[in-house]
Amino acid sequence: AQKVTQAQTEISVVEKEDVTLDCVYETRDTTYYLFWYKQPPSGELVFLIRRNSFDEQNEISGRYSWNFQKSTSSFNFTITASQVVDSAVYFCALSEVDNFNKFYFGSGTKLNVKP
Amino acid sequence: EADIYQTPRYLVIGTGKKITLECSQTMGHDKMYWYQQDPGMELHLIHYSYGVNSTEKGDLSSESTVSRIRTEHFPLTLESARPSHTSQYLCASSRLAGAGELFFGEGSRLTVL
């Protein structure tokens, strides 16, 4: 069974639009971590954020915000006022403490921001 | 800033050749990983290591092998490359304790003709 599901394969928006990337995870652990990574066309994965399972506070960093809801096992990522430079593939990932902190990645969502 | 380096960045090679993809990190991380990824697609874990002399196979079966003789170095070797090995290979590292984020290298894009 897929531990991390990113149902949106590809999203296209016009610059300045807001966009939300969905991430649903599955785990039986009580202690786990969730991550978002960005992979621009250059290929290198860039770490964006880490949240632990005990901290459901939403986080905002500039134009980026994350909504963590344990009740729905979701960790969604919103980009406000999108820019062309946001175009990339975004990956959500889960790390389970009881599973040697093994990482599980979703299949990624490709975001196209058009000028 | 991540200090993890992969060489070569790009490699085009003929079938049957032996290749080694190098990965080095200067962060003193105990955990290191190799992922295989087709462009823009899902990442598949093929090898990982928790420290020197520790290597494990990942979720995706791979004909490649790895070694971990030094903490900072985690090379991946293909004894006889085939066109099916054409892919991007991403190396990553993280600290041992807790759930530190993965730091990724820039990747090695391999094409086998």
Spell out which residues of chain A touch residue B36, defining contact as CB-CB under 8 Å.
Answer: none
Average pLDDT score over residue span A1-8: 88
Residue of A70, A64, A73 lying closest to A18 (CA atoms): A64
* pLDDT tens per residue, range A92-108: 999 887 766 678 899 99
Cα(B40)–Cα(B109) distance, integer angstroms: 12
Helix (H) / strand (E) element for A4: namely strand A4-5
Contact A44 B107 (CB under 8 A): yes
Q: Which of A17-21, A40-44, B89-93 is least confident? A: A40-44
Q: Is the pLDDT of residue B1 over 60?
A: no
Helix (H) / strand (E) element for B109: namely strand B108-112
* pLDDT tens per residue, range B10-36: 999 999 999 999 999 999 999 999 999
Contact B102 A97 (CB under 8 A): no
Cα(B76)–Cα(B65) distance, integer angstroms: 6
What does the block give as tokens for A1?
């069974």
Residue A71: strand, helix, or coil: helix
Contact A45 B33 (CB under 8 A): no
Contact A97 B40 (CB under 8 A): no
Identity of the amino acid at B40: G
Q: Which of B31, B41, B101 sits opposite A50 (nearest CB)?
A: B101
